[in-house]
Amino acid sequence: MSLLAVNKLQVTVADKTLLRDINLSLNAGSITAVIGPNGAGKTTLLKAISGDIPCRGDIKFAGQPIYHWEAAARARKLAILSQHNSLEFAFTGTEVVSLARGPHSTGTRIDSQICIDAMSAMDVLHLAGRLYTTLSGGEQQRLQLARVLAQIWRAEDAGERLLLLDEPVTSLDMGHQHQLMRAVRDFAATGVAVLMTVHDMTLAAAYCDHLLVLKQGECVASGSAQSVLTESLLAEVFATEVTVITHPKTGKPVVIGQ
- Specify the amino acid at residue 246: T
Q: Tell me the HSE value of 10 on the side-chain side, using a 13 A CA sphere.
A: 9
CA distance 41 to 77: 24
Burial class (CB in 10 A: 0-12, 13-18, 19+), 130: middle
Q: What is the pLDDT of residue 122?
A: 96
Work out how many domains the chain is built from and give that number: 1
CA distance 140 to 160: 28
pTM: 0.95
Phi, psi of 149 (to 5 degrees): -65, -45
CA distance 37 to 239: 9
| DSSP run (H or E) holding 241 | none
Per-residue pLDDT for 1 more than 70?
Answer: no
Per-residue pLDDT of 154-172, as tens digits, reads 999 888 999 999 999 988 9
Domain range holding 153? 4-257
CA distance 87 to 136: 13
Could you give the C-alpha distances from 252 to 79, 146, 206, 209, 229, in angstroms and in order? 29, 28, 6, 11, 10
Could you give the C-alpha distances from 80 to 46, 50, 251, in angstroms and in order? 8, 8, 31
Q: Using an 8 Å Cβ cutoff, are 150 and 100 in contact? A: yes
Residue among 196, 258, 214 nearest 37 (CA): 214
Domain with 88 in it: what CATH number? Answer: 3.40.50.300
* Residue 69 pLDDT grade (very low, low, confident, very high; cuts 50, 70, 90): confident
Least confident of 71-75, 190-194, 220-224: 71-75
Percentage of the chain beyond pLDDT 90 is 87
Burial class (CB in 10 A: 0-12, 13-18, 19+), 35: buried
Q: What is the pLDDT of residue 66?
A: 87
Per-residue pLDDT for 85 more than 80?
Answer: no
Q: Using an 8 Å Cβ cutoff, are 119 and 128 in contact? A: yes
Residues 6+ apart with CB under 8 A from 86: none
- Specify the amino acid at residue 116: I
